[in-house]
Structure 1
Amino acid sequence: MASTSRRALRLLSLFASRRLWPLRDLAAGLGASERTVRRDIETLRRLGYPITTVHGPGGGYRLGAGHPLPALVFDRDQALAVAVALQTAPRTVSGLEDDAARALAALEQAVPAALRAPMESLRLTRLQNYWEFPAPPVDPAALTAVGTAVRHRHVLVVETLRADGSRPGPGDDDFLPARRIEPHHLVVWAGRWYLVAYDLGDDQWRVHRVDRLRPRPTTRPFGPRQHPHDDLARFVMSSHERGDTPAAWPCTGSARLDLPAGVVARWAPGGSVVEHLDAGHCRLTLGAWSWAGVAGILVTFDAELTDLRPPELAHACRRIAHRLAAVADAGGEP
């Protein structure tokens, strides 16, 4: 009976994460046979949970409306995932640190003691690593407005902000007029929130930094479109026009690479900027804690480098070349 009860709770937790489940997926998730899952579903039905059978090739079982799920039906792995997420995610959204800490404390009080101990063992201390590329946190109001527009498929009117959060005026060189866009998907990459959207002004797919947008919601609906890439995360990573600006570093330099912008954008570290030059060349601007660090990252692309800026970066490359040549010569001695 105890085993059946645990499976029933686990079954409810699966339904909480996804409404429609094929029988084989439920069996795999529970580590039980399909016959056992059917019996557990009948047990839940007798307890009043409206689980319906969906027939057809895409069918399975669906938990209907009209009966609330038990509060906080988590298994061990889910509880640990929530604990880690609450401690790591707030750094990307402004002002959520205290709220996340209170939510974690409330969660620890609500779950059974068997889950509380491993959650408490994952109290994290954040350390700044020199190779982290921090991003400005997103305004929760802007993120909510964008997320709501994505969910309800409503057109957004957006204004582009500077890196410091200010809005350029009509007479400024970097001023862009407000745009009407269809917000399709949110992607988080390298600590930054990006919006994949279709621009109604020039009929192009674009990637926007959410922290660089001032969104104005509308109630105008839009329909589905064929996405620009089957993998939207890869589309974001390979788009060089993401609205990125160089992260603040002691040393910031750039070079012309004999590689397409899309290739470099995919592998460039967060906080760098890729400028398209032509089909086979781009300019990469990035920072590091030393000029040798900037040079070292550029070398990882294993491509020809020209037009290095500033002169300090070129000097660092020459020093590294001399050191490596000495190492190669020494390695050739018997």
Structure 2
Amino acid sequence: MLQTSARLLELLSLLQLRRDWTSAQLAGRLDVSTRTVRADVSRLRTLGYPVDARPGVAGGYRLAAGTAMPPLLLDDDEAVAVAVGLGAVATQRLGVEETSLTALAKLEQVLPARLRRRVEAVRAATSVVARTEPPLDLSVLGAVAAAIRGHERLRFGYTKPGGSEEARHTEPQRLVSWGPLWYLLAWDLDRDDWRVFRVDRMVPHAPTGARFRPRPTPQDDVVDYVVRRVSKAAWKYRALVLVHASAAAVAAKIPVPVDIEEVDESSCRVELGSDDPDQLALWMTQLDVDIEVIDGDELAVAFERLAARCRRTAGGAAPTSSSA
């Protein structure tokens, strides 16, 4: 009986490890016959685990979603990761602090002493900077994710940056997380084009039930596409500069995607922008390379103001030969 119980736990762990298994694969991993696998699957079903079976030569088993949450099997590293993650979520303004704490309490109650010590060691060595953003409504995020998974058209109210509201009708394609914010890449049916929406500005309407066939994304790298769209949409000031460094070196120093056009091995043109030209000028000095402003009067004036400020800070001292 003990051997059978241990095998059931191992079988459950395998089913939770990946989505699909054939009978032969499970039999090989458990070192039993396929007949024993079928019997063990039946035992799991009696314990409340919804194991689906597919008939035929290519058939097999998968652990499906059920009406209740069955117990999960975690190895040591997984258990520590979940405990640390729940603790981190509980300190953030995501709107699920209380739920995270109750889930963490349940997990820590059954953690072996050796794993509790590992979790405490991570906590003792870690500090978290509190966020200033408003909490994320996880019900909105869940509704959007469900529409993406089900290929279901999504209607929602959307608050634009200026504060005006409008209704949108979309085919949701992909969620992208960038820092504390979530973005939705979707095909806008009214505008017949791709659009990017901030999830915290969305208010989903009732499910439409209308299915759609996913379209090819505008580019293979969805994250890069969304970041570029979000960055450019937020720019109030735009500028084109000539940077006296290779395109590869500049791309490595700029943390967000921008348009970089190679001129030669030692120079490139970069289009970028910001809400504040003075902040942009200050940030570009941190590239530690020579820069020429090709197009962007606001940025050129901002560099003049920055240079004057630096001269005043230096007390008006004449530049030395080395600094020149």
User: How do 1:31-110 and structure 2 match up within 5 A?
Assistant: 35-39=28-32, 45-47=38-40, 48-49=43-44, 50=51, 52=53, 61-63=61-63, 71-89=71-89, 94-110=94-110
Cα RMSD, aligned residues only: 5.1
Decide whether the 8 Å contact of 2:240 with 2:272 is kept in 1. yes
Residue aligning to 2:170: 181
User: How do 1:1-334 and structure 2 match up within 5 A?
Assistant: 9=9, 12-21=12-21, 35-39=28-32, 45-47=38-40, 48-49=43-44, 50=51, 52=53, 61-63=61-63, 71-89=71-89, 94-123=94-123, 124-127=126-129, 135-162=133-160, 167-168=163-164, 177-225=166-214, 226-240=216-230, 256-258=239-241, 282-285=271-274, 294-296=283-285, 299=287, 304-305=292-293, 306-309=296-299, 314-316=304-306, 330=322
TM-score by length of 1: 0.63
Decide whether the 8 Å contact of 1:93 with 1:139 is kept in 2. no
Which amino acid letter does the alignment assign opposite residue 152 of structure 1? Answer: G
Deviation (angstroms), 1:181: 0.9
**Matches of 1:9 and 1:147, distance apart in 2:** 31
Which amino acid letter does the alignment assign opposite residue 201 of structure 1? Answer: D
Decide whether the 8 Å contact of 2:20 with 2:61 is kept in 1. yes
Decide whether the 8 Å contact of 1:291 with 1:316 is kept in 2. no
Helix, strand or coil at the partner of 1:177: strand
Helix, strand or coil at the partner of 1:178: strand
Point out which structure has higher relative CO (alpha carbons under 8 A, 6+ apart). Answer: 1
**Matches of 1:217 and 1:310, distance apart in 2:** 50
**Matches of 1:110 and 1:255, distance apart in 2:** 56
Deviation (angstroms), 1:269: 5.3
Helix, strand or coil at the partner of 1:153: coil
Q: Mark the CA change 1:265 to 1:111 in structure 2 (over 3 Å): closer, same or farther.
A: same
Helix, strand or coil at the partner of 2:175: strand
After superposition, give the CA deviation of every residue in 1:185-232 in whole Å (9 maximum; x if it has no partner). 212122211111110012212221111222223323222222223332
Decide whether the 8 Å contact of 1:207 with 1:242 is kept in 2. no
Deviation (angstroms), 1:284: 1.5
Q: Mark the CA change 1:127 to 1:223 in structure 2 (over 3 Å): closer, same or farther.
A: same
Decide whether the 8 Å contact of 1:158 with 1:214 is kept in 2. yes
Question: Rg bigger for which structure?
Answer: 2
Q: Mark the CA change 1:331 to 1:87 in structure 2 (over 3 Å): closer, same or farther.
A: same
Which amino acid letter does the alignment assign opposite residue 257 of structure 1? Answer: L
Decide whether the 8 Å contact of 1:158 with 1:213 is kept in 2. yes
Decide whether the 8 Å contact of 1:72 with 1:111 is kept in 2. no
Percent identity between matched residues is 32
TM-score by length of 2: 0.65
Q: Mark the CA change 1:53 to 1:62 in structure 2 (over 3 Å): closer, same or farther.
A: same
**Matches of 2:67 and 2:140, distance apart in 1:** 33
Residue aligning to 1:250: none
Deviation (angstroms), 1:104: 1.6
Where does the alignment leave 5 or more consecutive residues of structure 1 unmatched?
Answer: 28-33, 169-175, 246-252
Decide whether the 8 Å contact of 1:45 with 1:51 is kept in 2. no
Helix, strand or coil at the partner of 2:173: strand
